[in-house]
Amino acid sequence: MKKTLCKIFLLSVAIGMLGQPIVSQAKENVVVMIDPGHGGTNLGANPTGYVEKDMTLITALAMKEELEKYQGVSVYLTRNSDVELSLQDRAQMAKNVNADFLYSLHYNMSANHVFYGAEIWAQSMGTNYAKGYSQGQLLLSEFITVNDIFSRGVKVKVGKSGNEYYGILRYASKLDLPAVIVEHCHLDQAFDAEHFNTVDKLKQFGRSDATAVAKYFGLASTSLKVDYSHYPKPNIEPPTQPKTQDLTPPELATLQVTEVDSVNKTVSIQINATDRDTGIMYYSYSTDGGATFEPLQIWPSATDTLTIRVSAKFGQNRSAIAAVFNCYDGMALSSPVNY
Ligand SMILES: [Zn+2]
């Protein structure tokens, strides 16, 4: 429930918020385990035309190929074909090669098919949190600048038992292994649709993953003509207490109708919204009393107030309602206001 959990729109801003960057220094040999999520009978997300287990494998193979262009890194895959593996096995395979980091690659969907963007799930405790948060920011920075994907931030999720909610992170933690889950984008929302619809775009995600890993570990590549050995990665202090997710919805969502144009069928609305824990991430509105809502829009960072002119339905129920969401998908609705 910390403000620093979300909304990493610009790396420079995040670095400013989170402390001085530290210069990456490559150790003798870095060992990376890439885990293409799902496999075998475990398809993962499978909206029409796509199967997540196949997409993660394409991305993982491209990530490995790109990363192997750097010196001083050994790259392993938990699977390089369509086989089924338990989450425990995947973490153990990383431990067996003494991996410095485990990257579990995924593509996302949401229950109501409304959310979009990339997100990184990090472990919630100690140095693993610090490493995951730093690496996660570098991954999201690549997705924003190279893949043109909206960032939903680096996040943690703790289960009822107090352990990591996500199995691969839980097993990795038991083995004292830093790990992140990389959710590249959402497969079920129009906003992200054009960013994963070709094999090359799936490979581009893998190349972005590799660049972020190279920046994190301070790697250099003769063939790519890049040297990240002095790259300023975000320096995150290990938290003294475990981090937890934001369990509360935004605490404020109000709407005012400031202008009505019945000729052009538009209304001007002002939305006020706050979420002290993690900030507001998306908003939507209805002009028919909540019967239908518009697709989610990105809430401008660092503001509590948004004024927009929108097309209105001018139907039987002439009332407007705002909906706002934080990065953990917590939602708050305004009261309806007649126009
Ligand atoms: Zn998945």
Ligand 1 centre to CA of 182 (Å) is 9
Residue 94 phi, psi (nearest 5): -65, -40
Cα–Cα dist 136/180, whole Å = 7
Residue 316 neighbours by CB under 8 Å, 6+ apart: 288
Ligand 1 centre to CA of 52 (Å) is 7
Ligand 1 centre to CA of 270 (Å) is 37
Ligand 1 centre to CA of 107 (Å) is 5
pLDDT confidence of residue 28 = 76
pLDDT confidence of residue 24 = 60
pLDDT confidence of residue 302 = 85
Ligand 1 centre to CA of 79 (Å) is 15
Antiparallel, parallel or unpaired: β 331-333 and 319-325: antiparallel
Provide the CB-side half-sphere exposure for 63 (13 A, CA): 32
Cα–Cα dist 18/87, whole Å = 32
Three-state DSSP at 49 gives coil
Cα–Cα dist 207/10, whole Å = 20
* 3-233 matches 252-338 in fold: no
Query: Residue 182's closest CA among 101, 109, 119, 245?
Result: 119
Centroid of chain to Cα 53: 18
pLDDT confidence of residue 102 = 98
Q: Do 153 and 119 form a contact (C-beta atoms < 8 A)?
A: yes
Q: What is the average pLDDT score of the chain? A: 92
Ligand 1 centre to CA of 186 (Å) is 10
Sign, CA torsion 278/128/135/105: negative
Kindly report, residue by residue over 269-306, the tens digit of the pLDDT: 999 999 999 999 999 999 999 999 999 999 998 899 99
pLDDT > 90 fraction of the chain, expressed in percent and rounded? 89
Please state which CATH class domain 3-233 belongs to: alpha beta
Q: Do 16 and 35 form a contact (C-beta atoms < 8 A)?
A: no
The whole-number average pLDDT for the span 125-132 is 97
Cα–Cα dist 326/249, whole Å = 7
Kindly report, residue by residue over 20-79, the tens digit of the pLDDT: 666 665 557 999 999 999 999 999 999 888 999 999 999 999 999 999 999 999 999 999
**Per-domain boundaries in the chain:** 3-233, 252-338
Ligand 1 centre to CA of 68 (Å) is 24
Residue 132 phi, psi (nearest 5): -65, -40
Query: Residue 70's closest CA among 108, 130, 26, 109?
Result: 26
- Say what the alpha-carbon torsion angle 87, 92, 95, 96 is, to the nearest 10 degrees: -140
Sign, CA torsion 50/52/53/58: positive
CATH number of this structure's domain 252-338, picked from the four choices 3.30.70.20, 3.40.50.720, 3.40.190.290, 2.60.40.650: 2.60.40.650
Kindly report, residue by residue over 255-270, the tens digit of the pLDDT: 999 999 999 999 999 9
Ligand 1 centre to CA of 103 (Å) is 12
The whole-number average pLDDT for the span 128-143 is 98
- The H or E element that residue 48 is part of is none
pLDDT confidence of residue 301 = 86
Ligand 1 centre to CA of 124 (Å) is 20
pLDDT confidence of residue 13 = 38
Tokens of 123: 């472990």
Ligand 1 centre to CA of 164 (Å) is 16
> Residue 11: pLDDT above 60?
no
pLDDT category at 17 given cuts 50, 70, 90 is very low
pLDDT confidence of residue 20 = 60
pLDDT > 70 fraction of the chain, expressed in percent and rounded? 92
Kindly report, residue by residue over 188-228, the tens digit of the pLDDT: 999 999 999 999 999 999 999 999 999 999 999 999 999 99
Kindly report, residue by residue over 81-94, the tens digit of the pLDDT: 999 999 999 999 99
Ligand 1 centre to CA of 230 (Å) is 33
Ligand 1 centre to CA of 82 (Å) is 14
pLDDT confidence of residue 27 = 58
Count of residues in the chain:
339
Three-state DSSP at 180 gives strand
Ligand 1 centre to CA of 193 (Å) is 17
Query: Residue 63's closest CA among 215, 203, 222?
Result: 203
32 beta partners: 75, 101
Ligand 1 centre to CA of 185 (Å) is 11
* pTM for the full predicted model: 0.90
Ligand 1 centre to CA of 91 (Å) is 15
